[in-house]
Chains A and B, each alone.
Chain A
Amino acid sequence: MNNLSLYDRLIILLRGFFLQAVFNYEKFQNIGFLFMILPFLKKISNKNLAELRSILLRHIDIFNTNPYMCGFIVGNVLKMEVCKDDEKKITNIKQALACAFASIGDRIFWARMRLIVSFLTAFIFIVFYFYLEIRGFEVLVVSVIVPTIFYVAYSIYIRYVGIEYGWRCGGERTCGLNVFNWNKLIRFLSRMGFIIISILIVLVLFMYGYLCLHIGGKKQIVIGILIPFTAFFLQRYFRRNKKSIFYPVISFMLLSFVLSCL
């Protein structure tokens, strides 16, 4: 009865897709979190409404983590609720793990994988469209869909195994943090991203150089050479001053008024 069955895990997984549906600046993902745990809590409360109410009111508090990693916390919290652990302990572990997994998830998914997916989209498109000269709607679809499928598959996998591991080691303060070698994964993704963006820059520069040389007169070629160097200089200058990317873009736009008059 109080076991997390396959059906329960699938329900939690599906409801996990709504974690941020009511994202608000008071308690962040709290309603999404409640939505995830509600069916299982109803099951374990055995129609004891007073108990269910007290559990839910406890979990209505602030909750914020990376959406892909919430399974680790949900599994853990549900195990503790089943084992009727101390209320304070449940809240403390929930909040501590939410912070830890937010940091890990943000570094893996938002800061690396999301970027790699975009790089792969551009990479596939440039290679097929400009270098192999295969031009058609299919190329666009492949370049967008293929990297997205890998991302979706991996994110669902992490969400699912998170619930399972969280449940297995529920009640432990380090639950889920030592399941995978997160540091190794982060290092691997950093290197992978660096390699792909480097290749992408080389491909873009070759393509750009070719187009510049075939565009027309000397003036255009001079402007064409000036653009990447100026862009690079502006980006480095504003980044050193910790400014958003909009600063170099707006500066370049202003500079374009001058360049277009040449």
Chain B
Amino acid sequence: MSVIKTLIISSLINLDNVSLFQFLISRPSFTGLIVGYLNNTVMEGFILGVLIEFLFLDFVPIGGVPLPNPSISTTISILVLPYYNGEIYIPFFIGILVGEVYSYIEVFTRNFKVIFNKIIERRFMNYNFFVSDVILYSLAIDVIVYIIYGFVMFKIFSFLSFYLNTLYLKNVFRIAVVGSVFISLSSLFFKFKTQVSKNE
């Protein structure tokens, strides 16, 4: 499937992350499965998703704090897979970087959406109680920003594959991926251990 089509589908899945539903279908394993299926890399997509998901579980989305975006992380890491011989090691870290940078973009879009408050207030003052179109515009902003950002990142990291896709770096990142798995597991274990001991 083409990059743009994949990004469109992924951006719709990403709406579940904050804007709609919150059904956890935007979590990386779910996104990875769907995006991987669309790009004929189901297993790699799923494994990348699970690995990214475990790392990002360390962040808790409380009080509107911007977090690394799980959907864009997984999508970009799957999209650049063919440029890295289909091996997940380097794309895994590319995904994490892309997701982390997106949290800053999200701050920008959330600040931008402040204008909708003024629009709604002005409407109510004029006895116009229509809200649905503002919701649609807001969702459209999320989708458009996501697609543009995803496409730029895809282009950057597919171009950089000429420099990053070396045997040496592949070995380095392979060890780093295994290490990240144990770091995530250790972090999650102690998170729950603390919770249980606090409750006792």
Instruction: Choose among B50, B116, B186, B195 the residue that contacts A31 (Cβ–Cβ < 8 A).
Output: B116
- The CA-CA distance from A190 to B181 in the complex, in Å, is 22
**Interface SS of B by simple majority:** helix
Please tell me if B42 contacts chain A, counting CB pairs below 8 Å.
yes
- The CA-CA distance from A257 to B166 in the complex, in Å, is 13
A contact residues around B121 at 8 Å (CB):
57, 60
* Least CB distance, A54 to chain B, in whole angstroms: 9
* Least CB distance, A162 to chain B, in whole angstroms: 14
Known A-B contacts A24-B116, A31-B135, A115-B57; the reply to A256 vs B193 at CB < 8 A is no
Q: A20, A26, A106, A144: which has the most chain B beta carbons within 10 Å?
A: A144
B contact residues around A35 at 8 Å (CB):
131-132, 135
Please tell me if B114 contacts chain A, counting CB pairs below 8 Å.
yes
Please tell me if A131 contacts chain B, counting CB pairs below 8 Å.
no
**Interface SS of A by simple majority:** helix
- The CA-CA distance from A71 to B90 in the complex, in Å, is 43
B contact residues around A44 at 8 Å (CB):
none
Whether A186 pairs with B199 at a CB distance below 8 angstroms is yes
Contact bitstring A119-140, B, C-beta under 8 A = 1, else 0: 1011001000000000001001
B contact residues around A141 at 8 Å (CB):
33
A contact residues around B8 at 8 Å (CB):
none
Range of interface residues on A (Cβ < 8 Å):
35 or more
Known A-B contacts A23-B64, A232-B182, A249-B183; the reply to A148 vs B30 at CB < 8 A is yes
Chain B: how many interface residues by the 8 Å CB criterion?
75
Known A-B contacts A17-B20, A68-B22, A194-B192; the reply to A245 vs B120 at CB < 8 A is no
- The CA-CA distance from A232 to B184 in the complex, in Å, is 9
Whether A24 pairs with B114 at a CB distance below 8 angstroms is yes
Whether B192 pairs with A197 at a CB distance below 8 angstroms is yes
Contact bitstring B95-131, A, C-beta under 8 A = 1, else 0: 0100010000001001101101100110011010101
Whether A53 pairs with B24 at a CB distance below 8 angstroms is no
Whether B192 pairs with A190 at a CB distance below 8 angstroms is yes
Whether B192 pairs with A26 at a CB distance below 8 angstroms is no
Whether A232 pairs with B24 at a CB distance below 8 angstroms is no
Instruction: Choose among B60, B117, B127 the residue that contacts A26 (Cβ–Cβ < 8 A).
Output: B117
* Least CB distance, B44 to chain A, in whole angstroms: 11
Please tell me if A18 contacts chain B, counting CB pairs below 8 Å.
yes
- The CA-CA distance from A34 to B96 in the complex, in Å, is 36
Instruction: Choose among B63, B178, B184, B187 the residue that contacts A227 (Cβ–Cβ < 8 A).
Output: B178
Whether A20 pairs with B192 at a CB distance below 8 angstroms is no
Report B's interface with A, CB cutoff 8 A: 18-25, 27, 29-30, 33, 37, 42-43, 46, 50, 53-55, 57-64, 93, 96, 100, 107, 110-111, 113-114, 116-117, 120-121, 124-125, 127, 129, 131-132, 134-135, 138-139, 168, 171-173, 175-176, 178-193, 195-196, 199
Report A's interface with B, CB cutoff 8 A: 17-18, 20-28, 30-32, 34-35, 38, 42, 49, 52-53, 56-57, 60, 64, 67-68, 102, 106, 110-112, 114-115, 117-119, 121-122, 125, 137, 140-141, 143-144, 148, 151-152, 155, 186-187, 190-191, 193-194, 197-198, 200-201, 204, 208, 223, 227-228, 230-232, 234-236, 239, 244-246, 248-249, 252-253, 255-257, 259-260
Which 6 A-B residue pairs are closest in the complex by CB-CB distance?
A231-B182, A252-B179, A24-B113, A194-B192, A245-B58, A256-B175
